[in-house]
Amino acid sequence: MANDIQDKRRVDEATNTEFVGHEWDGIEELDTPMPRWWLWTFYLTIAWSLAYVIAYPAWPLLEKGTEGVLGWTSRGQLAEQMSAAEMARADVRAQIAATPLERLPEDSALLAQAVAGGRAAFLVNCVQCHGSGAAGSQELGYPNLNDDDWLWGGDIRAIEYTLTHGIRQQDHPETRQSQMPAFAGILTPPQVGAVVDHVLSLSGQAQPNAEGAALFAQNCSLCHGPAGQGDRTYGAPNLADAIWLRGSTRAAITSQILAPRMGMMPKWEGRLDPVTIRMLAAYVHSLGGGEDFVEVAADPEVAVDEQP
């Protein structure tokens, strides 16, 4: 056989070079040698890759992969980088911990650090409900954190309190707690319709309705206020503004009166460290709707400091 192959070798007469035996449309390939340095470079890359396989964790086995001889792992490298980053941040974190939250804006560099750290924590812990831009979802009832409508207060302390204690967390005695009663069976359908009319009229979306106003004063004003302006003490939404957590259609409002849905938020105390929670508060506050602490506190109508 070997001879047969030998016999098939043909040499190009013009260049005295062997053909490799391939032919495309009458064009034949000559066996032109690579320079030796080129070949050696190629061999070197193979040797290099073998060295890699030996030196580093590379080969998956049934139980565990090969571990390499250098003791290097990407997990170990990550852990190192994480602890180095932690070390690098320690100073800033200590400063944030030592600065009263409402005084943070006075140090713009520190505030910027806090906002950046808060954004990072937000993207890990909060985007699942509030969205990556913190715009929430009207459909699912997650509040938009960019606007200026706050159920429980929008100054930086109130935000921190909400973050720490969560909303409607049964296992936390100091959580934000409120409940709207279901009016199914209490109000008749025409009465509900009248209340919906009145609620819509509060923000100028419908004509005033006297029956609805009376029913509202009787049943709703205790929490939502006589003019429907809401009460942050109970987390009762403002019904007289343009922002509707679950929509302002008649159907949405009717459903909310008959069988209200109320959101929950995890408490982050114990899950995130206090400094991260502070940074989150700074970030949420910085989104554009955050309220000034001093001004709000000076307003007797909305006493933020006396949270439950």
Partner 1 sequence: MNSPNHLYEAVKTVHNKRIDGRFRRFKWLMMIVTLAIYYVTPWLRWDRGPYAPDQAVLVDMANRRFYMFGIEIWPHEFYFVAGLLIMAGIGLFLITSAVGRAWCGYACPQTVWTDLFQHVDRLIDGDRNARIRLEAAPWTWSKVLRRGVKWTIYLAIAFATGGAWILYFADAPTLFAEFFALDAAPIAYATVAVLTLTTFTLGGFMREQVCIYMCPWPRIQSAMMDEKSLTVTYKDWRGEPRGSVKKAQKDPEAFGDCIDCLQCVAVCPTGIDIREGPQIGCITCALCIDACDKVMADIGRPRGLIDYATLEDCAAEAAGKAPKPIWKTLLRPRTVAYTLIWGSIGMALLFALGTRTHTDLTVSADRNPPFMLMSDGSIRNSYTLRLRNMESRPRDMEVAIAGLPGGVFWTDTIGQNEAAASQTFTVPADATLPVRAYVAAPPGAAATEITFTLTSQDEQREQDVVEAGFTTPGEQ
Stretch that binds partner 1, among 21-29, 31-39, 50-58, 258-266 (CB under 8 A): 31-39
Residues with Cβ within 8 Å of residue 121, at least 6 apart in sequence: 272, 276, 279, 280, 283
45 binds partner 1 (CB under 8 A): no
208 binds partner 1 (CB under 8 A): no
Residue among 130, 267, 128, 245 at smallest CA distance from 180: 245
128 binds partner 1 (CB under 8 A): no
Look up residue 166 and give its amino acid.
Answer: G
Q: Which residues pair with 24 in a beta bridge?
A: 27
107 binds partner 1 (CB under 8 A): no
Per the structure block, which two tokens stand in for 34? 């690579």
Q: How far is the CB of 289 from partner 1 (least distance, A)?
A: 8
74 binds partner 1 (CB under 8 A): no
Stretch that binds partner 1, among 36-44, 83-91, 118-126, 267-275 (CB under 8 A): 36-44
Q: Which is nearer to partner 1, 272 or 282 (CB)?
A: 282
78 binds partner 1 (CB under 8 A): no
8 binds partner 1 (CB under 8 A): no
Q: What is the DSSP string of 90-148?
A: HHHHHHHHHS-GGGGGGSHHHHHHHHHHHHHHHHHHTHHHH-TTS--BTTTTBPPSSSS
34 binds partner 1 (CB under 8 A): yes
Q: Which residues in the 139-168 window bind partner 1 by CB under 8 A?
A: 144, 146-149
**In this chain, which of 26, 35, 60, 300 binds partner 1, going by CB under 8 A?**
35
217 binds partner 1 (CB under 8 A): no
| 30 contacts 18 by C-beta, under 8 angstroms | yes
Q: Give the contact letters, 263-302, x = binds to partner 1 (CB under 8 A), - = no.
A: -----------------------x-xx--x----------
102 binds partner 1 (CB under 8 A): no
Query: How big is the chain by its Cα radius of gyration, in Å?
Result: 35
Per the structure block, which two tokens stand in for 162? 């909400």
d(CA 116, CA 260): 36
133 binds partner 1 (CB under 8 A): yes
Secondary element (H or E) of residue 23: strand 17-24
Look up residue 48 and give its amino acid.
Answer: W
Count the Cβ atoms, other than its own, within 10 Å of residue 209: 19
Strand order in the sheet with 17-24: 11-12, 17-24, 27-30
Q: How far is the CB of 33 from partner 1 (least distance, A)?
A: 4
| 184 contacts 192 by C-beta, under 8 angstroms | no
Q: Which is nearer to partner 1, 39 or 47 (CB)?
A: 39
Q: Which is nearer to partner 1, 243 or 258 (CB)?
A: 243
Per CB under 8 A, residues contacting partner 1 are 9, 11, 15-18, 31-39, 108, 131-135, 144, 146-149, 238, 241-243, 286, 288-289, 292
